[in-house]
Amino acid sequence: MKNLKVTIPAGEKHSYTIHIEADTLNGVLAEVDKLCPGKRPFIVTDKNLVKAGHLKTLLGGKDVPTYIIEPAGEISKHINTVVAIIETMEKAFFGRDTVIVALGGGTVGDIAGFAAAIFKRGIEVVQIPTTTVSQADSSVGGKTGVDSTISKNAFGAFWQPKAVYIDVETLKTLDDRQYRAGLVESVKHALIADDDYFQFFLDNIDAILQRDSDVLEKIAFSNCRIKAEIVEEDPTEKNRRRVCNYGHTIGHAVETASGFNLLHGEAVAIGIVGAGLIEHQLGLADNEQLDLIKKLLLRLGMPVTIPKEINKNGLLDIIKRDKKAVDKWPKFVLIEKIGTARCVDGQWAQDISKEMVKTVLKKL
């Protein structure tokens, strides 16, 4: 087993450990009992995890109250789902002695984490990520939230987990599109923090696409190492943690404009190319660098341009409503080169004009 400690600064909720090992899902509830003695577990998962058999494996024959989100996916990531979870716990007389166990991908983790943050003014949550997106990014760092009818993650809270348990074998039940799209978050980490990790992707793409267990553990550990180091410095995204939004500002807008027909990773891939075009406009990158990034994204089967059916005219308005926007416009995260995020005067996100973003959207 590989373990990583995430040390949250004094004044934040608490520090925790990320546990990474294959074929360990059936033992996680026992570990939760040891970690949270005297607390009652309440599982939040979705229909996909039931179908894949992961809920059954986690339970191991135990009878643990469970809320199953249905339908699975972004369509259920709204405040009504959170209300339903909380009211289900209330009806079963759960209180502040509860630990929510989030079994699933990024959507499940975000919903369950947010429910934990606001139920009885805050209870523990344990994250068990089962997708490439959640194992790479969303399960670590305490970002939780749900969408409004207008934008992504409009309701949310920073709520650090009590622990994270990653069993990479769960990735082998994902359909190919979900699996590949989720790898974009790993590529993002490489771009903002580790050029050797980017090269690892280029050198091992076949083994990655074949879901080799050793390679999957390497990816999980590399992602968590990068994310943990950033979160430790800036747990509530006041500055440096913004680098984790690389590609996401345009990506979230494209995802929303698609009516969430595009998967998160597919939209972020387009956003990464958009960021690369901005970097090119600013003279930070040449064509060779952007071509190399696009080559890897295409090898993963990701789109690198905005699909024709998406109305580009509405993208600027969505960007104006980005949750990080100030005065109706967000700052943008860029890279100096592969493996190095750009920092200007101590700030990890920069002002980019609307005119330049309009130009980039046309090129996309």
Give catalytic status of residue 40 as yes or no. Answer: no
Q: Which of 34, 80, 91, 121 is catalytic?
A: 121
Residue 3 catalytic?
A: no
Domain presence at residue 220: no
Angle 127-132-134 from CA coordinates, rounded to 5° = 30
The predicted pLDDT at position 9 comes to 80
Tell me what pLDDT residue 12 has.
57
- Domain assignment present for 226: no
Task: Find, among 76, 98, 104, 75, the residue nearest to 86 by Cα.
Answer: 98
Sign, CA dihedral 328-75-175-223, equals positive
Asked, for residue 254, whether it belongs to a domain, the answer is yes
**Domain count of the chain?**
2
Asked if 28 and 168 sit in the same domain, the reply is yes
Rounded Cα–Cα distance for residues 314 and 254 (Å): 9
Separation of alpha carbons 303 and 266, rounded Å: 6
Q: Which residues pair with 144 in a beta bridge?
A: 157
- In this structure, the answer to whether residues 145 and 193 fall within a common structural domain is no
Same domain, 141 and 286: no
Q: Are residues 33 and 46 in the same domain?
A: yes
- On whether residue 248 sits in a domain, the answer given is yes
Residue 15's domain is classified under what CATH number? 3.40.50.1970
Q: Are 154 and 129 in contact (CB under 8 A)?
A: no
Q: Which of 54, 77, 143, 240 is catalytic?
A: 143
Q: Are residues 151 and 265 in the same domain?
A: no
Q: Are residues 113 and 183 in the same domain?
A: no
Q: 17 and 52: one domain?
A: yes
Residue-level pLDDT at 1: 79
Q: Does the predicted TM-score (pTM) go above 0.85? A: yes
Please report, in tens digits, the pLDDT of each residue of the chain (364 residues total). Answer: 799 999 988 655 579 999 999 999 999 999 999 999 999 999 999 999 999 999 999 999 999 999 999 999 989 999 999 999 999 999 999 999 999 999 999 999 999 999 999 999 999 999 999 999 999 999 999 999 999 988 888 999 999 999 999 999 999 999 999 999 999 999 999 999 999 999 999 999 999 999 999 999 999 999 999 999 999 999 999 999 999 999 999 999 999 999 989 999 999 999 999 999 999 999 999 999 999 999 999 999 999 999 999 988 889 999 998 878 777 899 999 999 999 999 999 999 999 999 999 999 999 9
Of residues 227, 240, 242, 331, which has the active-site annotation?
A: 227
Rounded distance, CA 151 to CA 253, Å?
8
Is 62 in the same domain as 135? yes
> What CATH number is associated with residue 355?
1.20.1090.10
Can you spell out the DSSP letters for 281-312?
HTTS--HHHHHHHHHHHHHTT---S--TTS-G
264 is known as an active-site residue: yes
Which residue in the list 162, 180, 242, 252 is annotated as catalytic? Answer: 252
Is 189 among the catalytic positions? no
| Size of the chain in residues | 364
Catalytic residue (one of 77, 189, 240, 264): 264
Same domain, 145 and 185: no
Domain range for 191 is 176-209+234-363
User: Looking at the domain assignment, is residue 87 inside a domain?
Assistant: yes
Same domain, 347 and 248: yes
Both 282 and 323 in one domain: the answer is yes
Instruction: Give the model's pLDDT for residue 328.
Output: 83
- Position 214 in a domain: no
Q: Quick check: is 124 catalytic?
A: no
Tokens of 243: 């680098």
Active site residue 54: no
In a domain, 270, yes or no: yes
Let me know if 267 is exposed, middle or buried by CB neighbors in 10 A (0-12, 13-18, 19+): buried
Based on the fold, state whether residues 280 and 302 are members of the same structural domain. Answer: yes
- Establish whether 14 is a catalytic residue: no
pLDDT score of 198: 98
**143 flagged as catalytic:** yes
Among 146, 173, 200, identify where a domain stops.
173
